Chains A and B, each alone.
Chain A
């Protein structure tokens, strides 16, 4: 299938493929680069932001710690603690209320050093938060305030700000200020501005068991998330892949997690790749069009050359190709024209030569023909005269001659006649060898039958002809007729001694030749001398036995030779003869 694509199409395909390859590769490289760059920028921004936020929340936490501590670091609280909640209750409550003024503070509690609740003020019952493990994590250093982890209650998250109350280095108790982890719309707005689009802030506990986006509880980052170790990539169910950074907020038990949507980061790069691909497709199409147009410049001359060459192959040598260019195709065209001219000249010269030769041959043949004709007549004249005089002598001077004289005269006459026959035979033999042969379909059976009729007219011999199925052959009808004539006349002649002559004729196809066989029941011949059979004027019988000049078979051989066949014979004395000749199929 690949072989049937034209050159032009190949050029187009190649160009298209190359451009496509280039576009694909460069697009891939650019895209990967752009992605990398975007991710890098994202990473840096993420880390920076996370750090910023960490610091920001740290400061908030610190502020909360300070305010909380200031609010409760007074005598009333201490007195209350000393008295186990009996004294200065009202003043303490007031102090606690002060803290409660903050909208987000839902509960402020005062505990003694053993964890027993003394007083509280707030909107929620205290017991909701306290677990056994709580107290193990409470700071014990005097004068310190800490911000604790998040705790879930209902749908909200709360975190404690724990302030230790001490008196002269002795731990008296704790004030725990519970705040709700929500943000005001204003704060969220500000945060959003800080974060930017595509970024999300999550808060979580150090234990990583609670996470929130400040509006609802969310799933935490996957287990692979590492703390304070640069950025991570993972997939958040429902949001897709994210780039994230996790960090402790110093001075608190919190963790912040900032997630950047990867899609947002790569947005520009992705837009970029789309444009790149569009440009790429346009380039490929452009490349194909240009290749198509350029291809024409190459294939057109080739087509013209092909047409001219085909004309040449068909025998028309006069076509030539217009040459306008000097590159490889131009050179080819020039060479072609030159070649065509040479071939044309050579052919013209050959034709001339052939005509000359043919003329020469024809002339030569004609001369030979005229020569043999005149020779035959010039040779026969004296023979005629010899015969004439011997005739007259024989008739008019019979008495003077006597029997013996007459006999001798007869011999002279006979030989003169024979010479005439020899001359005729020789001339015939020569002429038939020089004649032009035609090649046509010859009906051998019909030819043979007509020859038999001719030979048997005026013959009193009893001959039984048995003719089988004879194939048709390609050859010269006249010459082949001569062959039949000679062979049949021989068969008749040499079987004339029999009471009843039987002559059989058959044909057989053997390989790529057709063989004919004429067999008679005559006297046959001695195979020892078979080599002489087809010689000119050669005979295997005495003239007294059978008349003849010995030219018949030589003629047969000559004719069959010219047809490209063979002749041969088999016989044994007294048992007839079989003559064969073959002709190409």
Chain B
């Protein structure tokens, strides 16, 4: 995948959750320019163009970052913090997509500046619908800042 053409950055460690989500998005042709990274550190490398991705240019930035909070090693909140505290990445919309609906996670995420917080529905049908709605909203409907 061409580094510059990433529209959606999907950070999720569980391959099955990832496959199901991508499957739903693909069905609605929202997954063309989707990048899936299953490791937190690697995701940061990608965002800040270092390590494996040092040849990537920060601009243009992805139009949406889907972030799971429960990541091994680096915590999702930490990634969120780094994203939102860096001038160059601050404006990228971040949607937390996680199984935790705990109040403290929600508050922490909003304090860090998350754009939206979605709890994965337990029912698969609802989950699929939510994913698709997300995609349509943030990629198609929502107006992001011009790069």
Contact = CB atoms under 8 A, between A and B. Distances in A.
A540 B10 CA distance: 48
B87 interface: no
A384 B120 contact: yes
A539 interface: no
Contacts of A381: 14, 17, 99, 120
Contacts of B101: 377
Interface string B15-28: 01100100100000
B99 A385 contact: no
A420 B101 CA distance: 16
A362 interface: no
A385 B16 contact: yes
B13 to A, nearest CB: 12
Contacts of B48: none
A377 B100 contact: yes
Contact of A388 (B99, B100, B127): B127
Contacts of A392: 20, 23
A380 B122 CA distance: 6
A383 interface: yes
Contacts of B121: 384
Interface in B67-120: 99-102, 120
B102 A384 contact: no
Contacts of B125: 387, 391
B98 to A, nearest CB: 9
B103 to A, nearest CB: 10
Contacts of B123: 384, 387, 417, 420
Interface residues of B, number: 17
A373 interface: yes
B124 A387 contact: yes
Give the residue among B16, B100, B101, B124 with the most A Cβ atoms within 10 A. Answer: B124
Contacts of A380: 99, 122
Contact of B99 (A370, A377, A417): A377
B31 interface: no
B128 interface: yes
A378 B122 CA distance: 11
A389 interface: yes
Given A377-B99, A377-B100, A381-B17, A388 B124 contact: yes
A332 B20 CA distance: 84
Contacts of B99: 377-378, 380-381
A420 B20 contact: no
A417 B23 CA distance: 20
Given A381-B17, A385-B16, A391 B100 contact: no
B122 A385 contact: no
Contacts of A389: 16, 20
Contact of A385 (B17, B100, B102): B17
A413 to B, nearest CB: 9
Nearest to A386: B124
B102 A420 contact: no
A378 B17 CA distance: 13
Contacts of B120: 381, 384
A25 B100 CA distance: 102
Contacts of A387: 123-125
Given A381-B99, A391-B125, 5 more contacts: A384-B127, A385-B16, A387-B123, A387-B124, A388-B20
19 contacts: A370-B102, A374-B100, A377-B100, A378-B99, A380-B99, A380-B122, A381-B14, A384-B121, A384-B124, A384-B127, A385-B20, A387-B124, A387-B125, A388-B23, A388-B124, A388-B128, A391-B125, A420-B122, A420-B123
Interface of A: 370, 373-374, 377-378, 380-381, 383-385, 387-389, 391-392, 417, 420
Interface of B: 14, 16-17, 20, 23, 99-102, 120-125, 127-128
* 7 nearest A-B pairs in the assembled complex, by CB-CB distance: A387-B124, A388-B20, A385-B16, A388-B124, A377-B99, A380-B122, A384-B124
